Amino acid sequence: MVFSSLLFLFLFFAVTMAVYCLSDTLSKKNIVLLAASLIFYAWGGPRYLLLLLLMSGISWISALFIYENRQNVVMKKVFLAAGVGLQLLLLGYFKYAGFLLRNVQKVTGFPEEIPNIVLPIGISFYTFQLISYVIDVYWENVRPQRKYWLVLLYAGLFFQCIAGPIVRYKDVAYEIEHRKTKLSEIGDGINRFTTGLVKKAIFANSCAEIADTLLPQKLAELDSVPALGLWLGVLMYMLQIYLDFSAYSDMAIGMGWMTGFHFKENFNYPYIADSVTEFWRRWHISLSSFFRDYVYIPLGGNRRGQKRTMLNLFIVWALTGLWHGAYWNFVLWGLFYYVFLVIEKNGFLDKLKTLPSAVGHIYTLVVVYFGWILFKFSDMAYLGHTLRGMFGLNGNGFANLEVKIVFENNMFFIAASILACTPLFKLGYRWCVRKARRITAVRWLCNAVEVAGPVFLVLIATMALVGNSYNPFLYFQF
């Protein structure tokens, strides 16, 4: 079940919010959210609900033991290692065992048959949340939660369990047991949710259809796509992955506001960045900050000399790539960014700042554009054929009638999708709000938009979803 499905919108979420609002105490409201979250997670794979229950229990118990032994340095470290280690072992088995066995098989021929291990939905996200909880208790940044079911609520909350953002317990610990929902925040949450819904149902899904048309899954068909088609296909994938993932974060943050939770922003218009360094301050913020705080800084950060700093960055970006998937292309994708970040860290960023901002912006977009090619193709053969084809080296020519028709039929949509990746619409609305203070007509217009806008957005999103079975969500695989 995805947020952008009619089943979720008009049955699951509608019923959940109705029962939630009718509950008269916060404890009952939390029970409603927990029950809904368990149903939501079990919908995608009932047997893996047990894994979520187990991993939440491991973190709950280990955090309690860490706190109880906070004066005993040795035992405190033992329970930290046990709590984090068991989580990583479970994540490693379900996500990376197949990857490891495939590579061993290529070298040694053993094993003859590789077991098919199904990846539990959202395991990368909730594992990192539970690890951050245990480490924060160890660092004494937060007290452990005594109630197991509230740890489970934190890890499994359906708003962000399966695709983030990665929420740290210390950021929501107070709200889990003491939050109060303001009427104004409910309205803001509805606006944020419906904006994300349209971003997903209208923009991301349509971008995905164009990208899949121009970047077919069969190698023979891929080789026949002309260079212009491949360039356009990668552009549409670049737009899709941002619109898709940021839409999910928008909806998660919006649902959080509706129920009194305040999750941190996960995206800040990364495609307007002027450097690769800035891009990663704006893209998937909860993941990059996790690796910074729980891997890079504990390894020594930049405090142990240049060579150690480069090694720490290498480890972080190799892990960042591997987190996204158990294929070599993801590792290469992480190391691809490592190279550019090291270059920027060693003086190039300072030079960029002396140039017009357009130069840095174009450079960043080019790097990110080619990075998404690495990200998309887990099969190295497809990756190589795509890169060659983009420069006409597959004997595929520059353009054909089909590509021209695809572009001409979607040129205005492509322009709108590009604008949707910028803050232009938000800035325009804020401008209208400022004008509303002085102009009566504009003030009435803004009020009308705030009231009718979410209804209109849900309506057009529903129209797009009705009868449309094409509703992919890229980050389910992570």
Which tens digit of pLDDT belongs to each residue from 396-431?
899 999 999 999 999 999 999 999 999 998 888 777
The DSSP output letter for 201 is: I
The residues, any chain, with a CB within 8 Å of residue 67's CB and separated by 6 or more, are 137, 143, 144
Instruction: Grade residue 113 by pLDDT with cuts at 50, 70 and 90.
Output: confident
pLDDT for 3: 86
Using a pLDDT cut of 90, give the percent of the chain over it. Answer: 73
- CA dist 365 and 271 (Å) reads 7
> Where would I find the beta strands (DSSP E) of 340-408?
none
Annotated active-site positions, please? 324
- Residues 291/320, Cβ–Cβ less than 8 Å: yes
Using a pLDDT cut of 70, give the percent of the chain over it. Answer: 96
Instruction: Grade residue 475 by pLDDT with cuts at 50, 70 and 90.
Output: low
Q: What is the mean pLDDT of residues 39-58?
A: 91
pLDDT of residue 128 exceeding 70 = yes
- CA dist 124 and 215 (Å) reads 27
pLDDT for 323: 94
Q: What is the per-residue pLDDT across 259-288, written as a single tens digit (0 to 9) for each?
A: 999 999 999 999 999 999 999 999 999 999
pLDDT of residue 69 exceeding 80 = yes
458: left (phi over 0), alpha (psi -120 to 50) or beta: alpha
- CA dist 359 and 352 (Å) reads 8
Q: Residues 248, 254, 259, 262: is their CA dihedral positive or negative? A: positive
Q: How many residues does the chain have?
A: 478
pLDDT for 437: 64
Q: What is the per-residue pLDDT across 225-251, written as a single tens digit (0 to 9) for each?
A: 999 999 999 999 999 999 999 999 999
Query: What's the alpha-carbon Rg for the chain, to the nearest Å?
Result: 24
Element spanning 227, H or E: helix 227-258
74 vs 444, more confident: 74
Tokens of 74: 């040795």
Neighbours of 255 (CB within 10 A): 24
What is the helix, strand, coil percentage profile of the chain, to 5? 75, 0, 25
- CA dist 195 and 445 (Å) reads 18
Read off the amino acid at residue 368.
V
- 365-366-368-369 Cα dihedral, nearest 10 degrees: 110
- CA dist 436 and 449 (Å) reads 12
- CA dist 123 and 91 (Å) reads 7
Average pLDDT, the chain: 91
pLDDT for 245: 93
- Residues 261/274, Cβ–Cβ less than 8 Å: no
- CA dist 175 and 260 (Å) reads 7
Rounded to 5°, angle at Cα 235 from 457 and 378: 105
Q: What is the per-residue pLDDT across 22-38, written as a single tens digit (0 to 9) for each?
A: 999 999 999 999 999 99
- Residues 277/309, Cβ–Cβ less than 8 Å: no
Cα-to-chain-centroid distance, residue 185: 23
pLDDT of residue 5 exceeding 90 = no
Q: What is the mean pLDDT of residues 350-367?
A: 94
Instruction: Grade residue 444 by pLDDT with cuts at 50, 70 and 90.
Output: confident
- CA dist 43 and 127 (Å) reads 19
The top-scoring range by mean pLDDT among 126-140, 343-357, 461-475 is: 126-140
pLDDT of residue 370 exceeding 70 = yes
466 vs 278, more confident: 278
pLDDT for 468: 63
Q: What is the mean pLDDT of residues 384-401?
A: 92
- Residues 400/226, Cβ–Cβ less than 8 Å: yes
The DSSP-derived string for 310-337 is HHHHHHHHHHHHHHH-SSHHHHHHHHHH
Q: What is the per-residue pLDDT across 451-461, written as a single tens digit (0 to 9) for each?
A: 777 888 888 88
Q: How far is the first Cα of the chain from the last one, in angstroms, to the nearest whole number? A: 16
pLDDT of residue 442 exceeding 80 = no
pLDDT for 472: 66
The residues, any chain, with a CB within 8 Å of residue 87's CB and separated by 6 or more, are 55, 58, 59, 127, 130, 131, 134
pLDDT of residue 436 exceeding 80 = no
Nearest of 152, 125, 124 to residue 52 by alpha carbon: 152
Q: What is the per-residue pLDDT across 291-327, written as a single tens digit (0 to 9) for each?
A: 999 999 999 988 888 899 999 999 999 999 999 999 9
Q: What is the mean pLDDT of residues 201-222?
A: 92
pLDDT of residue 93 exceeding 70 = yes
Helix (H, G, I), strand (E, B) or coil at 121: coil
- CA dist 471 and 450 (Å) reads 28
- Number of H helices and number of E strands within the chain? 22, 0
Helix (H, G, I), strand (E, B) or coil at 102: helix
- CA dist 475 and 473 (Å) reads 6
